[in-house]
């Protein structure tokens, strides 16, 4: 965080200072801000956020032991550290982030990019950050820090020398993206796609579209919206951009896109394509697995080139990226048995894309195995969407379909109903049972996809399999 005095922080938060030791209202604080005492560093600020299962106020002492010099709290705790008491710690984080970003913006250097979409946010964020980091100090979220806590914590990492802030905006309900994006008023807003992820919370696909369009509305007048020309729902957001005086830059695989891909070839070593930006085309070998990441790469290139990065540099830097993020199309195992661990998040769209990738990358003589768990946050659409994925796995001729967990059982039943009658599809109640089966079932030449939502926990099954076949 930039250097601020205790009195400045308290004024921004509307809080009351309780000084400790030799601290005065003019004492300057400039360390990291976090809600996790385990990552606290000397000089840092600990935000004691109450949680669903525990309370951050219980960990103030640990944060102090790790070097915290200030705690933002909702009530005074008996620990040897200066504290600022606020009505709500989460609101305080947002207020502090808004103020810090505004102060750095006033220096004239900082450019802010916001990213949203039903799928692909974290991958695109990492791709864009990789391109921009060679241009100047770039701050981007750790993992999927994209909610009401994670997004402000990322914003609070900016310094006076930061050139780019890349923010990822997720949401499970209407209004959340508007709230987060409103903290920074992005110069560039990227909308990747609109799908069924979190549709249960939004109330349907049209409501999801409206929620994702909140980012376009939040872009500063005169700014840029980077929109997916291949997604009709995203295309409709161009009208919103026009109303707000925001320019549109299109990405996609159609001829009308400003940044587009052609001659796409998906292999087990990545995806090869020709990227054309503003009439200039060059080859790109994207080592991140999956054709569904082509759009993410195009979005990152579209934003980066609009910010002044040359196409040659953008492509060269993307080619150095081997993995988008842990548990996202992460290659594990060995050439003998290749495990693709993609079990951090799952929606109907990302599940279908991962299955298609599995079918595409298997060479003749190699067997495809899909280990699938439940997709969360689909609400009333959960049943039919799990059915659809089970049917798709059969239609793609996936040779072994392993369904794990009671919440995914409909996927298994749909696969059987679609024609997987001879043992191709199996069901296990737990990941341990699935692991024991797979250890005995997998053989040389197998290509294995592990895919589920985070809550299903199959990412750890993927890790176990990767280690067993390394």
Residues 183 and 153: beta-carbon distance below 8 Å? no
β-pair type (4-5, 28-29): antiparallel
d(CA 112, CA 115) in angstroms, rounded, equals 10
Question: Is 122 within any annotated ligand binding site?
Answer: yes
Sign of the alpha-carbon torsion through 350, 185, 103, 128: positive
Instruction: Round to whole Å and give the CA distance between 300 and 323.
Output: 15
Judge residue 263's burial from the number of C-beta atoms within 10 Å of its C-beta, 0-12 exposed, 13-18 middle, 19 or more buried: exposed
Q: Which residues pair with 115 in a beta bridge?
A: 168, 190
Under 8 Å between Cβ of 436 and 346: no
Phi then psi dihedrals of residue 252, to 5 deg: 160, -170
d(CA 199, CA 196) in angstroms, rounded, equals 5
Determine whether 54 is exposed, middle or buried from the number of CB atoms within 10 Å of its CB (0-12, 13-18, 19+). exposed
Whether the Cβ atoms of residue 85 and residue 74 lie closer than 8 Å to each other: yes
119 labeled part of a ligand binding site: yes
Q: Which residues pair with 371 in a beta bridge?
A: 402, 450
**Do the annotations mark residue 118 as ligand-binding?**
yes
Nearest to residue 82, comparing CAs of 97, 64, 102, 108? Answer: 64
DSSP-derived letter for residue 362 is P
296 is in an annotated binding site: no
CA 368 to chain centre: 27
123: annotated binding-site residue? yes
Are 104 and 162 within 8 A, CB to CB?
yes
Residue numbers belonging to the annotated binding site for ATP = 117-123
Residue numbers belonging to the annotated binding site = 117-123
């Amino acid at each position: 965080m930039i250097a601020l005095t205790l009195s400045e922080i308290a004024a921004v938060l509307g809080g009351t200072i309780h000084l400790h030791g030799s601290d005065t209202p003019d004492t300057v604080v400039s360390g990291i801000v976090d809600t996790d005492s385990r990552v606290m560093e000397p000089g840092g600020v600990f935000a004691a956020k109450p949680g669903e299962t525990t309370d951050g106020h219980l960990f103030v002492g640990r944060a102090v032991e790790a070097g915290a010099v200030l705690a933002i709290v909702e009530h005074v705790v008996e620990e040897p550290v200066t504290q600022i008491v606020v009505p709500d710690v989460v609101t305080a984080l947002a207020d502090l982030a808004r103020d810090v970003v505004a102060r750095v913006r006033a220096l004239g250097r900082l450019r802010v990019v916001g990213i949203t979409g039903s799928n692909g946010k974290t991958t695109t964020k990492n791709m864009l950050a990789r391109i921009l980091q060679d241009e100047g100090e770039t701050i981007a979220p750790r993992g999927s820090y994209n909610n009401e806590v994670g997004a402000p914590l990322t914003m609070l990492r900016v310094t006076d020398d930061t050139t780019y802030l890349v923010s990822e905006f997720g949401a499970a309900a209407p209004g959340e993206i508007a709230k987060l994006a409103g903290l920074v008023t992005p110069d560039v807003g990227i909308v990747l796609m609109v799908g069924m992820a979190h549709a249960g919370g939004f109330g349907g696909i049209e409501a999801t579209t409206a929620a994702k369009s909140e980012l376009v509305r939040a872009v500063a007048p005169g700014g840029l919206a980077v929109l997916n020309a291949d997604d009709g729902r995203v295309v409709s957001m161009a009208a919103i951009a026009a109303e707000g005086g925001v320019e549109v830059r299109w990405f996609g695989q159609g001829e009308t896109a400003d940044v587009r891909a052609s001659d796409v070839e998906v292999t087990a070593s990545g995806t090869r394509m020709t990227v054309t930006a503003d009439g200039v085309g060059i080859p790109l070998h994207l080592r991140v697995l999956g054709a569904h990441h082509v759009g993410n790469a195009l979005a990152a290139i579209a934003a980066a080139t609009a910010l002044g990065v040359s196409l040659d540099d953008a492509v060269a830097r993307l080619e150095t990226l081997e993995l988008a993020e842990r548990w996202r199309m992460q290659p594990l195992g060995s050439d003998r048995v290749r495990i693709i661990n993609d079990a951090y998040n799952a929606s109907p769209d990302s599940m279908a894309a991962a299955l298609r990738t599995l079918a595409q990358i298997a060479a003749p003589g190699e067997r495809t195995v899909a280990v699938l768990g439940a997709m969360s946050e689909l609400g009333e659409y959960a049943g039919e969407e799990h059915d659809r994925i089970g049917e798709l796995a059969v239609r793609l001729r996936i040779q072994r379909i392993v369904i794990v967990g009671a919440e995914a059982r409909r996927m298994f039943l749909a696969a059987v109903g679609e024609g997987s009658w001879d043992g191709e599809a199996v069901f296990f109640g737990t990941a341990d049972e699935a692991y024991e089966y797979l250890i005995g079932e997998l053989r040389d030449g197998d290509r294995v996809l592990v895919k589920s939502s985070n809550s299903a926990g199959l990412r750890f099954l993927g890790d176990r399999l990767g280690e067993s076949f390394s």
